[in-house]
Amino acid sequence: MEVETPAQQTCKDADATRLGQRAGTRPLRNPLLVVNFVLMVVGTSGGPLFLRAYFLHGGTRKWLSSLLQTAGFPLLLVPLYVSFSRRRRGDKATAFFLMTPRLLAATVAIGLMVGLDDLLYAYGLAYLPVSTSAILISTQLAFTAAFALLLVRQRFTAFSVNAVVLLSVGAAILGINSGGDRPVGESRAQYGAGFAMTLGAAALYGVVLPVMELSQARHAASAGAAAVSYTLVMEMQLVIGLAATAFSAVGMLANNDFHAIPGEAREFGLGRSGYYLLLCGSAAMYQCFFLGTIGAIFYGSALLAGVIMTVLIPITEVLAVMLFHEPFSRTKGVALALSLWGFVSYFYGEVQTSKARHQSDKPPNGEHLEP
């Protein structure tokens, strides 16, 4: 008889809890799910464009661009306060935060990982066109799948393995033909560093997503803890944003970035006002992305979040070519096609698995479930 490991049992219990919480709710009729998906679309597509525009028009501060990816976390205080007010109407003794000390510690650690990931991504986007960076970031699905297998015992099918292989091949093709879209005035060493940093960011984020899922699962399985809800998800993102922003702020202090901001604003290609608007827009866009991502993990899994990020690549690609007039070579076309093929393969496999699970849950012929 097969014995379940503690990690498998924890994830199994958490899945049962989350299914119980959402029983009887059709996904497309859940307004929070729809809002979460819209946030992820806006953030995933718009964030890289804002950040790349910062570098294209004269911005040079990597630590600053890293901080911008999480500095919008105070925006979450508004919906969190609204949620607290509603809970307070039913229970005057309700706490403002639902997180346990254990989940808080785990979330701070995740935030520091996100801060490092943001720095790697900022370095990559400083030297790579958005269209190239987006395809490289899509390889996070392969890393997410691998670490989801190790951390949350994600089951693999032939389709998900095929998706991982296709994404890896796409990145390899870009690597072999790298340099063809190197921006004017940029050295081969800078382009290569950007390529490596972006792949590093994809790999690290491939670890972060399953760790987020595992943290939610262990919280759901712990006795006496509040149920995993969208409010708790927002609290996690608030703490992740605070920890990651603090990480980047320390780097900015060491690099003297805070003192350099006024001078950079005066010389910015879009003007002083355009500079600060771009910084604020970047922070808002990336906050949409991170909240949408952790929400996708809540409603599905780490792999689902990775898949949604992958399928949104064409939107980012098209916008980058239109707004920044980036070259779109045949190599990029092949890599993009492989990425989309990998997504379709994964999605088809998930549909087939869902159908098989649904069939296995049906009672045998002649038996009826209790009403």
Give me the pLDDT at residue 139, please. Answer: 81
Measure Cα distances from 101 to 97, 106, 239, 322 in Å. Answer: 11, 9, 12, 47
Measure Cα distances from 25 to 16, 315, 360 in Å. Answer: 15, 30, 21
* Separation of alpha carbons 26 and 3, rounded Å: 34
Residues 317/252, Cβ–Cβ less than 8 Å: no
Q: Which amino acid is at 222?
A: S
Give me the pLDDT at residue 16, please. Answer: 45
Length of the chain: 371
pLDDT at 6 over 50: no
Read off the tokens for 294.
Answer: 């952790």
pLDDT at 15 over 50: no
Q: Which amino acid is at 5?
A: T
Q: Helices 188-221 and 130-137: crossing angle, nearest 10°?
A: 40
At 276, the pLDDT band (50, 70, 90 cuts) reads: very high
| pLDDT tens sequence across 180-223 | 667 777 788 888 899 999 999 999 999 999 999 899 889 888 86
Residues 252/63, Cβ–Cβ less than 8 Å: yes
Give me the pLDDT at residue 269, please. Answer: 95
At 134, the pLDDT band (50, 70, 90 cuts) reads: confident
Q: Residue 101: how many CB atoms within 10 A of its CB?
A: 7
- Rounded to the nearest 5°, which phi and psi values hold at 220? -65, -30
Q: Closest by alpha carbon to 234, among 99, 67, 100?
A: 99
